[in-house]
Amino acid sequence: MSVRKIVTIVEEIRTEGGRALARPARIAVVAAVIDNPWAGQGFVEDLAPGIDAHASDLGALLAPAVLDALEAPAEAYGKAAIVGLDGEIEHGSGLIHTLKFGDHFRKAANATTLLPAVEKRGPAGVVFDIPLKHITDATIRSHHQSVEVRLADAPHPGEIVIALAAAAQGRPQQRLAPLSTEQ
């Protein structure tokens, strides 16, 4: 796996809606910019060999890094695969939609739910939002949120950006009633 760079973004929100938070809300993103393992091969029918060769290594690289950057236990999490213009969305999906990738994050975060995801193809600098949900109960509304990401020089046409995001809490100042109140 060829990693051109790793980008870490940490956002700390201290005020929301004109009110200070009791404790700052933290969200971390760690993204690896990698060479697309299928670039230049035309249509590849069987993606499994490339997935087997790279997905687990990416999960092992990114999961501890995003939790370290968060500097707190994760309560919400998500993932992204942004494919450069010479690739297919399926290339990114193949790398992140496998237990070989996701289980690294689930185990590190003590999570049990599916990782919400965004997949997209775009040029360098494309903006993407990583959806986040609670790590053990996807129905907890307070943790349904997203984090916006943009890497100025990635992905190049033959690259893929693979990213993980984690939040140490739900949305700042959340005050929606639990889903159970509507059932």
How would residue 181 be classed by pLDDT, with cut points 50, 70 and 90? confident
Q: Are 129 and 118 in contact (CB under 8 A)?
A: yes
| pLDDT at residue 88 tops 80 | yes
Give me the number of domains the chain comprises.
1
User: How confident is the model at residue 103, as a pLDDT?
Assistant: 98
Could you identify the residue written with the tokens 């939002």? 129
Exposure letters 11-26 (e unless 16+ CB within 10 A, then b) = eeeeeeeeeeeeeebb
Q: Indicate which CATH number applies to the domain containing 127.
A: 3.30.1330.110
User: How confident is the model at residue 178, as a pLDDT?
Assistant: 73
How would residue 176 be classed by pLDDT, with cut points 50, 70 and 90? confident
Q: Are 111 and 73 in contact (CB under 8 A)?
A: no
How would residue 69 be classed by pLDDT, with cut points 50, 70 and 90? very high
Closest CA to 79 of 60, 59, 65, 64: 59
Q: Model pTM greater than 0.85?
A: yes
pLDDT tens by residue, 144-165: 999 999 999 999 999 999 999 9
User: How confident is the model at residue 155, as a pLDDT?
Assistant: 98
* CB neighbourhood size of 61 (10 A): 18
User: How confident is the model at residue 40, as a pLDDT?
Assistant: 85
What 3 state SS string does 62-87 have? HHHHHHHHHCCCCCEEEEEEEECCCC
Q: Are 148 and 9 in contact (CB under 8 A)?
A: no
Domain that holds residue 161: 3-182
